[in-house]
Amino acid sequence: MSETVLLVGGGGREHAIARALANSAADLYACAGNRNPGIARLAEGVETLDTTNPVAVRSYAQEVGATLAVIGPEAPLQAGVADALDEAGVYAFGPQQAEARIETDKGFQRRFMAEHSIPGCPDFEEFRDAEAACEYIDAYDGDLAVKPAGLTGGKGVRVIGDQVTAEEAKAYIRESDYDRIVLEERLVGEEFTVQAFVADGDVRVTPAVQDHKRAYEGDEGPNTGGMGSYSDAALALPFMDESDYTDAVDIIQETVHALDGYKGVLYGQFMLTAGGVTVVEFNARFGDPEAMNTLPVLTTDFLDVLVAARDGEPLPRLRFERQATVCKYAVPEGYPTDPESGARVAIDEESAGEALLYYASVDEREDGVYTTTSRSFAVVGVGDSITEAESIAEKALSAAGEEGLRMRHDIGKPDLVQRRVDHVAELRGE
């Protein structure tokens, strides 16, 4: 039977999902707040709507006769879009609102880990009162990370001793009026992501990826949604041992079992510290950019995963090409603090050459594609090694030019990768 899949979301991650489904026997429809030209070219139909409005998404799903849905971003999950689709008989590959709290409520996430004795949980405390949080900072022996409990697009965390001083952290807590703040032990090490497909208690993991959250080269500047990422031709990254990867997978597995009824992608963000693998956070969806590293090398039909999940069948074993990937985002000048929109995007899927091009928050007008105030597009190189993948991505970026854009050229370069390896060796006292 042929399937009609509704894709919710219009960023780079969703363009990667659309491309994975374009290779399958699926009729694809998509809805998002923006019109992503890459997705529009792959889909039978696209609709611009507010994806945090469950009624609007459900109506569109019913209008196009969707038999399945994939939800890309976190905001619709938080809004209960999966619940609305499931109720209407359109299986949503994405958790319902209650399960999505593993991402959307960082206080819940930490309490959940503690209650279920899931390994890798840092020391933490949650506060509703700003002054009580500030007192805790004063009294705490060591550095803390300040995390708003709700969603902030990856931009809300302030780490004492890294980005801010204790005094700046307290000023941040007092000035911003977040309802709840989580304070947790600062983790020092190298971060990595492992994403898993989950349904009916089945967990199928994908290769580790390292994202780069800082805006500028050399890991300087403010946090962003992610400037680019790489994966190796193996499951682990060069700075990890295979056992670090296995530890992360065990944590994901324990979390899924404790969650009971979770479906969709569970994304674990880990810190490889001197003491081992620790959880920075969980997300209830693919990462953006990490989906652009994972899906292009997945040789298992993504539609088969979705159909098995819906039908309560065991999820298929995943197969990946043994290839490394490097993804680099081009963002508007001034991003993330003071982004300037309106630059013309001078690259398309053809001129990207050997690299894959994924559109993100761009605006397609009659005379071309223009930047908005969020990440614009990403290029992905796939090669035998990280170095080879990196040069493929760089070649595409030079075809794109830098007018009105900014990118981190250092992502995936041998120097930066080696720095990660040296960092972990130093932490382990090697």
Q: Which residues bind ligand GLY (CB under 6 A)?
A: 154, 211, 226, 283, 287-290
CA distance 405 to 400: 9
| Smallest distance, ligand AMP to C-beta of residue 186, A | 4
* Complex with ligand AMP: residue 78 or 223, whichever CB lies closer: 223
Phi-psi region of 184 (alpha: psi -120 to 50; beta: other; left: phi over 0): beta
| Smallest distance, ligand AMP to C-beta of residue 281, A | 4
Angle between helices 242-259 and 97-104 (to 10 degrees): 140
Counting other chains too, the contacts that 60-63 makes at CB distance below 8 Å and 24 or more residues apart are 60/6, 60/29, 60/31, 61/6, 61/85, 61/88, 61/90, 62/88, 62/90
| Smallest distance, ligand GLY to C-beta of residue 267, A | 7
| Smallest distance, ligand AMP to C-beta of residue 45, A | 34
On the 0-12 / 13-18 / 19+ scale of CB atoms within 10 A, 311 is exposed
| Smallest distance, ligand GLY to C-beta of residue 211, A | 4
* Complex with ligand AMP: residue 75 or 309, whichever CB lies closer: 75
From 351, 352, 356, 368, select the one nearest 404 (Cα to Cα): 368
* Complex with ligand GLY: residue 154 or 268, whichever CB lies closer: 154
- Which of ligand AMP, ligand GLY, none lies near 157, with the C-beta cut-off 5 to 8 A by kind? ligand AMP
- Which of ligand AMP, ligand GLY, none lies near 9, with the C-beta cut-off 5 to 8 A by kind? none
* Complex with ligand AMP: residue 29 or 124, whichever CB lies closer: 124
Place of tokens 């680019």: 228
Pair of tokens at residue 279: 């959880």
- The amino acid sitting at 42 is L
| Smallest distance, ligand AMP to C-beta of residue 132, A | 19
Residues making contact with ligand AMP (CB under 6 A): 122, 145, 147, 154, 157, 159, 184, 186-187, 191, 213, 223, 269, 280-281
- Which of ligand GLY, ligand AMP, none lies near 231, with the C-beta cut-off 5 to 8 A by kind? none
* Complex with ligand GLY: residue 72 or 80, whichever CB lies closer: 72
| Smallest distance, ligand GLY to C-beta of residue 191, A | 10
CA distance 56 to 157: 32
CA distance 289 to 287: 6
Classify 234 as helix, strand or coil.
coil
* Complex with ligand AMP: residue 191 or 349, whichever CB lies closer: 191
* Complex with ligand AMP: residue 154 or 296, whichever CB lies closer: 154
| Smallest distance, ligand GLY to C-beta of residue 295, A | 14
On the 0-12 / 13-18 / 19+ scale of CB atoms within 10 A, 221 is middle
Q: Is the peptide bond before 122 cis (omega within 30 degrees of 0)?
A: no
| Smallest distance, ligand AMP to C-beta of residue 154, A | 5
* Complex with ligand GLY: residue 156 or 404, whichever CB lies closer: 156
CA angle (326, 408, 144) in 5-degree steps: 95
Sheet with 3-8, edge to edge strand ranges:
45-48, 26-32, 3-8, 68-71, 91-93
Name the phi and psi angles at 407, rounded to 5: -150, 165
- Which of ligand GLY, ligand AMP, none lies near 145, with the C-beta cut-off 5 to 8 A by kind? ligand AMP
- Which of ligand AMP, ligand GLY, none lies near 288, with the C-beta cut-off 5 to 8 A by kind? ligand GLY
Q: How far is CA 231 from CA 163, 274, 368, in A?
A: 26, 22, 32
CA distance 255 to 271: 17
* Complex with ligand GLY: residue 72 or 332, whichever CB lies closer: 72
CB atoms closer than 10 angstroms to residue 20: 21
- The amino acid sitting at 231 is S
| Smallest distance, ligand GLY to C-beta of residue 429, A | 30
* Complex with ligand GLY: residue 31 or 157, whichever CB lies closer: 157
| Smallest distance, ligand AMP to C-beta of residue 169, A | 12
* Complex with ligand GLY: residue 54 or 287, whichever CB lies closer: 287
- Which of ligand AMP, ligand GLY, none lies near 184, with the C-beta cut-off 5 to 8 A by kind? ligand AMP
